[in-house]
Structure formats: C-alpha cells, structure tokens
Structure 1
C-alpha cells in the first residue's frame, strides 16, 4: 500500500506542475493595414478609413501612421496621422485620416467613380506600435488591394 500512495502522490505532483506551466503565450506579430473606406469630400480632400489588424496575442497601442498610397499607377501622397488607439489581442479597429491627394490621384479617383469601376491601391510605409509592457517599434506595411464604388453612396469606395 505504501508504494501505491507514493505513486498517487507523484502523479498528483506531476499534474500540479503541468497545470502551472500553461500560462498565456505572449506573441507579438506584425500588424496589417488596409483601406476600409475612402470618401471623397466636397473640398476635394479624402477621408480614408484605415483598418489596423493586431495579430498579436496581447493588446497593442498604435500611434504614428505613415503610409505612402498609390491608386492604379498614380502616387496619391502619404497618409500621415496619429492613430492613438489600443487594439485588443487578435482584433482590429479603424482610424480615419483626412488626406489631400495629389492632383493626378484625384483625376484617377474621379474617373473610377464616374465609370463605377474598381481601382487598385498600394499602401507602403510604417505603423508605430507598442506591445503591452513593451517598447515602441515601427512595423513595415506593404499592402496591395482594390476599392470598389459603393452603390447609392456617391464618392465612396470600399
């Protein structure tokens, strides 16, 4: 009976140790950014809703955004802004940046809206983010996608 008790105690101790080692894994992953919506404003500037994805297993604070944007083959300028938001683990949020596009980008956008057709875009640059209890870092962004006109909403692309 003494060996049986020892065996039970050893199994219980091993189980207790194994349960203590299973804490949350802190994984910091590269974030992503894309354009969720672009709205041409009456003054010719654009309101650009930038969707930021936090793929990390911990909350991240997103601050400075500096993303060069092109539409089709035309440079549209740089989206600069201060996001100033915290995004929970494996979540996303949207930051709105008011942007004054280049004249050639305005023409390309006006043409796509008038023809009711999609247009490709590229975002390249950095987003500054700080992991919970970590140091700030610039993350490289390189995104290629497209925007399409929204039926019934003039001047809006998604």
Structure 2
C-alpha cells in the first residue's frame, strides 16, 4: 500500500507543477484620443491619435477603424493601419489624415473665431486591432472616448 502511495506522490507533484504555468496577464481595451490636430492647406485634417494601452501586458497595435464625430455633426471614418508595440500601461501616437465635412470645418472656424476660449467637442468610437503579447492571434478591442479640441495659442491651424 505504501509503495503505491510513494509512486503516486511524484506524479501528483509533477501535475501540480504543470498547473502552475506562467500567469496570464489581464488585457483591457485601449483608450483612443486626439492628441493634436492640424488643418492642412488642402482642407484635410492631420490627426495625431494617441493610443493608450490599459493592459497589464504589452500589445502590438495594428489598426484602428471607427468614426470621428465633431460637435454632434455627422461623423467621418477614422481609419489607419500601422505597427505600434506599446508596453503595458503606456501610450504611443500615430498620424491619421482625413477629410472633414464642410459642417465640421465651419464648427472649427466658429470656435477659432473665439480665440483661445473657443473649443469644439469631439468623440471617437470604433475598434482597435491588437495582439496581446501572450496571445497567438490579434483581436479587436472596442474603444469609445470624447474630449474637446481647442486652438493652440500662437500656432495657427493647430488644435489640442
């Protein structure tokens, strides 16, 4: 009886060690916001989009696909592909060019006429495609965010 028990103990210990593999790190959706926006001479907007990794694991971000809504007007598509390795709880930026609607441009011009006291609300929503460091495949993460764009004093056609 004791011989069988002595043979079983190493098997149970080995199974216990196998179950103690590396812990999985928690993964959460990123935050996406506009860090800076420049109105180019051709009317396009060049956005500096900030992606904040809110996870306990580093992630390789590959694309965002969503919409930008300015001042509750009709939204425009916000889409970009890139390759950003963002460590846990860190952020990085990417450039996105888009063509705004005439109403969006008018809302921005009205806020700019107010000087540094003018601002325009915006919201972004969509999906960010990323591969967490512990996963084999990339997956989509939903993002939603809103904030304000205000003209930068002394730098024409630039908003933050």
TM-score interval, smaller chain: 0.7 to 0.9
What value does the CA root-mean-square deviation take over the aligned residues? 1.5
Residue 60, structure 1, aligned to residue 62, structure 2: no
Unpaired runs of 5+ residues, structure 1, are: 1-20
Unpaired runs of 5+ residues, structure 2, are: 1-19
Cα-to-partner distance string for 1:54-90 (whole Å, 9 max, x where unaligned):
0112210111111211111212411111132110111
TM-score, normalised by the number of residues in structure 1: 0.81
In 2, the alpha carbon distance for the partners of 1:48 and 1:70 equals 13
Cα-to-partner distance string for 1:2-25 (whole Å, 9 max, x where unaligned):
xxxxxxxxxxxxxxxxxxx7x766
Counterpart for residue 122 of structure 1: 123
Q: Report how many residues are paired.
A: 137
Structure 1 runs of 4+ aligned residues shifted over 4 Å read none
8 A contact 1:76–1:105 mirrored in 2: no
Aligned to 2:110, the other structure's residue is in SS state helix
TM-score, normalised by the number of residues in structure 2: 0.80
8 A contact 2:47–2:96 mirrored in 1: yes
